[in-house]
Amino acid sequence: MSKESKILEQIAKQNGVTVEEVRKEIEVAIAAGQNNPDPEVQKEWSKMKFKNDTPTPEEFIKYMAKRVRNGK
């Protein structure tokens, strides 16, 4: 199991919901971010490179964790 999957499980457990519910909420948040018309928000999204246009929750967690570790 990947670190990202373990994080999803931990979030689900802490909030008394299923992993699928956590995944869905993250997917909704990703979509909201990608569809935000604010130019600064779009500038940040344009810097992110994922396998597909829309990242999976696991890909997004991995990307953001790396970004936090690197102080960006």
Contacting residues for 26 by C-beta, under 8 A, at least 6 apart: 57, 60, 61
Which amino acid, one-letter code, is at 65?
A
Q: In 10 A of CB 24, how many CB atoms?
A: 13
Q: What is the pLDDT of residues 13-49, one digit of tens each?
A: 999 999 999 999 999 999 999 999 999 999 999 999 9
Q: How far apart are CA 7 and CA 39, in angstroms?
A: 31
Q: In 10 A of CB 7, how many CB atoms?
A: 16
Look up the pTM and report it: 0.87
Q: Where are the domains of the chain?
A: 3-69
Confidence class of residue 1 from pLDDT cuts 50, 70 and 90? confident
